[in-house]
Amino acid sequence: ADVAMATTLCARRSAAASLRAVRQYKWLEKNAGRTMELPWAGQRRLAGDTGAEDTSRAKDGASEGKKGKNEEEQKQPDERELLLEHALKHAVEKGWSRDALRAAAQDLGLSPAVGGLLDRGDVELIEYFLDKCNRKLAEDLKSMEAQLKEMRIRDKIRTAVKIRLEMVQPYINVWPQALAVLAQPQNAPRAVSKLAKMVDDIWIAAGDTSEDYNWYTKRGLLAGLYSSTELYMLTDTSPHYEDTLNFLDRRIEDIMVAGKATAQLGGFAKSMASDYDSMLQKIFTRKDS
């Protein structure tokens, strides 16, 4: 009963204080001819201004405030990105886990509960890493544009794949865990999408301009090449991953042979189609005559 009485008394006092504030504001609005700063309504002129002017100024102020806020947000990474970036430092030891996220939160002086920003937890950390690697690869290939133009196609592919594999090497001990998470049915579509983005960037940097079925064939072959080489690297104990690079060279050679075979098969099919068309024309020409 005492608690209820105290709560009621506090509510009445709060209501009375709010009522006094409203009455004071109305008196000032009626008698003062100056501009006031109101925390709930922005800045407005109390006497002599029309409602339209008030509305216009409020909108302008809100628009400028929003623009400044957006510019500030673009300059500074959001809390989620900072958390993921710091978590990468801990993933080497703690794996792609909530533990890495909690350690990152501690680095930033945030509550461990901040991990709730990531609905999908560890998989979001892995996807953030993949996106970061893909962006870095695209930037590196862009900066090497002049060098790449002087290389053969196979050397361009080898250079790009080697750069991308080197980004994974610091996490080699925990990368099997990442691959296992990405292979789960609910995560596989995003993983495939990021792999497709990577191989497309590599072929574009290599100067590929194909628009026919070769566009799909080349990217499918390169996706298989990268995935198989990455898996091989997980068990490679040679210095500087030399065995992985040798494996990569063999796979590239296989792709070159497959590409030539596909081109020869395509030429053979076109030749057969031309001969068949020519034969049909002769048959129908004879019938007509």
Local confidence pLDDT in tens for the 289 residues of the chain: 454 444 444 444 544 444 444 455 444 445 554 444 433 333 333 334 444 444 555 555 655 555 555 554 454 568 889 899 999 999 999 999 989 988 998 888 888 777 677 778 889 999 999 999 999 999 999 999 999 999 999 999 999 999 999 999 999 999 999 999 999 999 999 999 999 999 999 999 999 988 888 899 899 999 999 999 999 999 999 999 999 999 999 999 988 876 665 555 455 445 544 544 554 455 555 555 5
Alpha helix (H) residue ranges in the chain = 2-31, 51-75, 79-94, 98-107, 122-143, 145-149, 153-168, 175-182, 188-205, 213-234, 242-288
Give pLDDT, residue 210.
86
Residue with tokens 């909690």: 102
Give pLDDT, residue 31.
54
Report residue 53 CA to chain centroid gap: 44
Q: How far is CA 263 from CA 21, 208, 255, 257, 270, in A?
A: 83, 15, 12, 10, 11
| Rounded-to-10 torsion of CA 231, 221, 250, 198 | -60
